[in-house]
Structure 1
Amino acid sequence: MTLTERAVETEQGSEHVDVLIVGAGISGIGAAHHLRERFPDRSFVVLDALEARGGTWWTHRYPGARSDSDLFTFGYRFKPWRGPSIATSEEILSYLDEVIEEDDLGGVIRHRHRVTAASWSTEDRRWTVQVTREDTGEHLRFTTDFLWMCQGYYDHSGPHRPQWEGMDRFRGVVVHPQQWPDDLDHAGKRVVVIGSGATAATLVPAMAQTAAHVTMLQRSPTFFFARPRTHELAETLRALDVPDEWTHEILRRAYIAESDEITRMSFESPDELRAFLVESMRPLLPEGFDIDKHFNPRYRPWQQRLAVVPDGDLFTALREGTASVVTDTIETFTETGIRLTSGEELEADVVVTATGFDLSLFGGVAFTVDGEPVDFTERVTWRGIMISGVPNMAYVFGYFRNSWTLRADLVSEFVCRLLAHVQEQGATVVVPTLRPEDADMPLRSWADPENFNPGYVMRSMHLMFKQGDREPWTHLLEYAEERTALPAADLDDKSLQYS
């Protein structure tokens, strides 16, 4: 009997595994790889509410859906990326499929399994997890020694969609990118995309290829950064027949170094970085384009995400006249489009509300510890990996300024180190616990608006846990710091209690 075949034992109506992973996207598949590699004898399953693997890359099916980060850092450290630096959702899903096949993970991933509740029992030293089958409505129960939350950071089923006056009388189609209908045909149509973030930057040039015209309607500007779809260095190394593993590592380091420098400048010399970003856009835009009005935000560079424009495709659409940008606010929808506060009217057949998403704390799962509901707003993070007072539970939350997967890899390696340490201690339970010297520690909000303040973060702060003013009770650090700090983190500094 193979490990996959015996991975789950039936115990009094429950299925028991050593580790239960929630989420089969980038984080969950990566966690499963690390777990299988480090602990080949431990049983585990991966539960996901969606129909197939991929998380974001499964749900986002709008035109042109692609990565906003380079795949040499968004790809896993353990598996070389062989495609273009900026990849389509289909290319990313194929990459994940290769990981699943190579690690024989197909038998442990359960799709359409939505986790609804998780209850910890100190007496039993395990979690009981309630699960609903999305396809049959059947209620299932799993038990596990360790719970690993890899479900991502937003609500896949409920996008953020503001309501504007007059939407009910608009005779055209209104669609959100997160819920893109398969039968939407925008060829020859007038399209208005509301928003100016990474999704809008993807949608506008993709739809402009066949639409009559696409207008990007933004309330305020975003910084855009044109990058080649395929890095010149990658092409050179591949032409020299350099091994894929070497190319992957060299390009990974090159992109990390570039990202580190941009992040450093955003804090130390933001005016210089602003000038660099604005001037790099200027020659790519139509003559006479008002760059200060449309592409020079009020906020500090990297106080919100930089939107990547591969091969400058957005700017190309603007130069060719197939797309345009309007910076204004909406007064009302009309029967045939949108009337703006300035009085201008935008005619539209299709309106795309690329207005973002809302954070979803641990996928909306209801947690209890020894029968008491867990109010996460009263809890403190431990290094952005565990939560104070919550035993045997880890979570993955990636970076804002670097690729998500850079941190997913770091966290996976750390969790495996922690699991080994628990075993070495002769323990079965580990709980982040405030030490006596932390008792009066000032608590801070989940995120600092002066550091990073996009709408989806600001809208959800009241739902999130807190952080302290000292290690190990802080999070949202930069990769430049964590890539050395996490591997060196002290597991015996009394902030983790073993029993």
Structure 2
Amino acid sequence: MSSEELDVLVIGAGVSGIGAGCHLTMKNPGHSFAILERRPAMGGTWDLFRYPGVRSDSDMYTFGYNFRPWTERKDIADAKDILKYLSETAAEYGVDKKIRYQQSVTGANWSSSKKRWLISVSREDTGETYQISCRFLITCTGYYDYEQGYLPEFEGYDGFKGTIAHPQHWPEDLDYTDKKVLVIGSGATAITIVPSMAKTAEHVTMLQRSPTYIFSRPAIDGIAVWLNRLLPDKLAYKLLRAKNALLSLFIFTLSQRKPEKVRKFLRDMAAESVGPDVDVDVHFNPSYKPWDQRMCLIPDGDLFAALRAGSASIVTDQIDRFTPHGVFLKSGESIAADIIVPATGLKVQFLSGIELRMDDQVVPHKELLNYRGMMFNNLPNFATVFGYTNASWTLKADLTCDYVCRLLNHMEKHQYQVAMPSVDHSVKHSQFDDMTREPIVNLSSGYIQRALNDIPKQGSRAPWRNHDNFIKDMFSIRYGKIEDGVMTFD
């Protein structure tokens, strides 16, 4: 098996991986690095999903990178524009030349004697296997299984005689013109697909087991248009990024402190937008509090407009079984369909299922303890990029990559070979011995609850607790000390 040595290895060429490559290029020019991508193209999520209307579920002023302004007019962008932005960013910083496509990482083993990660790689195109050793490993693999989404067991599913179109594996030649379409689900994917397909389908029905909080905002930000006319791109971008980050944090905080007030605001927004024929108390009034699960964003109220126009409808019920021509509901009603779209959620998968080992001993993912939302207890020279659940993913990705670059430079300056956060070490300096462990993501969403036994944990105290707060993280991560009494060096 052939072998190669690098300073840094990045796994994944999506938003996080391209961002990591750009940060390394800017801040660590003396470090050699490569990016491995299992798929044949960059873009991650934005290249994988091809369903109608696929777009960002947050504004592009915070979803874009902090070092490269988003200059397009629409700040709720579709996948095509996002891919263009990623491609141009990668080319501008030379990161596109660092990406190796169709390279699947099958295992990562830390060698204490060599003080390096030994990465096993398989080429998807040739079947060849080889090894890369690196001083530092950054994983940018996202949080879900790219091979398949979550699909409940539906009685009669295989007996449906129409077309089933999975959002994660959308048929390229699917023609839904003048067809009856049933979309199962109420999350971000479903609320994107419904108004998009409703433009040409005979009718689209959105079937949800329970409602979701939905927030509408303009696809084009009037303040952004005004600032971009008056100010240079970079300055306008910084101001808009700060404005939108603070707005997201305000909405999240208000939801936590005054949930009934936010619930009423969202309920009234839906009632005003969908008209009198849709019962908002049945279809847009969840049983949980705002932000106990992710809140869904729709641009220009497109879902509400489709419901109001009658090109789409919404049903809140549960499926009893599939039939040859649709579904039969537990209420006794039936929904006929030519095409069924099971937008039933993602299947959470940490590190794309890559097996971690320490000196050939398996490290179960569920035993890992989060440090600052990016590293893990007693795991050397390792960082993972995981974005916010209550704000744009890239806000945290930028902070994480900036921290890793600072850490690498700190290690080089002091001739450290190993950096590792340690609870055992921190106990010597402060009282962490009674710290409790909790799920790393504090959401009640089904896709998170199904994965709790397989994903890392977080502690009840900082820095072992993931704040999910951009402002707090900015001060503690971007401006905080590297040697904080928790991070150990060798």
Corresponding position of 2:100: 110
Native 8 Å contact 2:63 2:394 kept in 1: yes
Gap runs ≥5 in structure 1 = 1-11
Q: Secondary structure at the match of 1:300?
A: coil
Q: Aligned partners of 2:344, 2:471: CA distance in 1, in Å?
A: 30
Q: Aligned partners of 2:207, 2:409: CA distance in 1, in Å?
A: 52
- Report 1:1-12 matches (<5 A): none
Corresponding position of 2:463: 472
Distance 1:336 1:174, change over 3 A: same
Residue 179 (str. 1) matches residue 169 (str. 2): yes
Residue 384 (str. 1) matches residue 377 (str. 2): no
Q: TM-score, normalised by structure 2?
A: 0.96
Q: Secondary structure at the match of 1:278?
A: helix
How far apart are 1:320 and its partner, in Å? 1.0
Counterpart of 1:74 in structure 2: which amino acid? Answer: F
> Which residue of the other structure, out of 102, 110, 115, is the alignment partner of 1:120?
110
Q: Secondary structure at the match of 1:463?
A: coil
How far apart are 1:455 and its partner, in Å? 1.1
Which deviates more, 170-179 or 396-405?
170-179
Corresponding position of 1:440: 433
Q: Aligned partners of 2:312, 2:415: CA distance in 1, in Å?
A: 63
1:186-231 C-alpha deviation (Å, 9 max, x unpaired): 1111100000111111000000011110000000001111110010
Q: Aligned partners of 1:348, 1:221: CA distance in 2, in Å?
A: 21
> Which residue of the other structure, out of 282, 304, 308, is the alignment partner of 1:319?
308
Q: Aligned partners of 2:212, 2:444: CA distance in 1, in Å?
A: 13
Q: Aligned partners of 1:66, 1:319: CA distance in 2, in Å?
A: 22
> Which residue of the other structure, out of 150, 153, 159, is the alignment partner of 1:169?
159
Residue 32 (str. 1) matches residue 21 (str. 2): yes
Counterpart of 1:129 in structure 2: which amino acid? Answer: I
Residue 417 (str. 1) matches residue 410 (str. 2): no
Q: Aligned partners of 2:15, 2:116: CA distance in 1, in Å?
A: 26
How far apart are 1:480 and its partner, in Å? 2.7
Native 8 Å contact 1:331 1:341 kept in 2: yes
How many equivalent pairs are there?
A: 485
Q: Aligned partners of 1:371, 1:475: CA distance in 2, in Å?
A: 29
How far apart are 1:241 and its partner, in Å? 4.8
Corresponding position of 1:231: 221
Which deviates more, 204-213 or 479-488?
479-488
Q: Aligned partners of 2:20, 2:156: CA distance in 1, in Å?
A: 46
How far apart are 1:286 and its partner, in Å? 2.5
Residue 251 (str. 1) matches residue 240 (str. 2): yes
Taking every aligned residue pair, what percent have the same amino acid on both sides? 43
Residue 202 (str. 1) matches residue 187 (str. 2): no
1:465-490 C-alpha deviation (Å, 9 max, x unpaired): 22222222111532132121212333
> Which residue of the other structure, out of 451, 455, 463, is the alignment partner of 2:454?
463
Corresponding position of 2:444: 453
Gap runs ≥5 in structure 2 = none
Native 8 Å contact 1:17 1:144 kept in 2: yes
Q: Aligned partners of 1:133, 1:193: CA distance in 2, in Å?
A: 36
Native 8 Å contact 1:441 1:469 kept in 2: no
Corresponding position of 2:126: 136
Residue 400 (str. 1) matches residue 389 (str. 2): yes
Corresponding position of 1:59: 48
Corresponding position of 1:277: 266
Counterpart of 1:443 in structure 2: which amino acid? Answer: T
Native 8 Å contact 1:443 1:466 kept in 2: no
Q: Aligned partners of 1:490, 1:177: CA distance in 2, in Å?
A: 43
Q: Superposition RMSD on alpha carbons, in Å?
A: 1.4
Q: Aligned partners of 2:216, 2:256: CA distance in 1, in Å?
A: 21
Q: Aligned partners of 1:235, 1:446: CA distance in 2, in Å?
A: 40
Q: Aligned partners of 1:169, 1:326: CA distance in 2, in Å?
A: 22
Following TM superposition, where does structure 1 have runs of at least 4 consecutive aligned residues deviating by more than 6 angstroms?
none
How far apart are 1:131 and its partner, in Å? 0.9
1:150-209 C-alpha deviation (Å, 9 max, x unpaired): 111111112111120011111011121011111111111110000011111100000001
Q: Secondary structure at the match of 2:412?
A: helix
Native 8 Å contact 1:74 1:405 kept in 2: yes
Native 8 Å contact 1:161 1:176 kept in 2: no
Q: Aligned partners of 1:134, 1:184: CA distance in 2, in Å?
A: 28
Residue 430 (str. 1) matches residue 419 (str. 2): yes
Native 8 Å contact 1:447 1:476 kept in 2: no
Q: Aligned partners of 1:272, 1:481: CA distance in 2, in Å?
A: 25
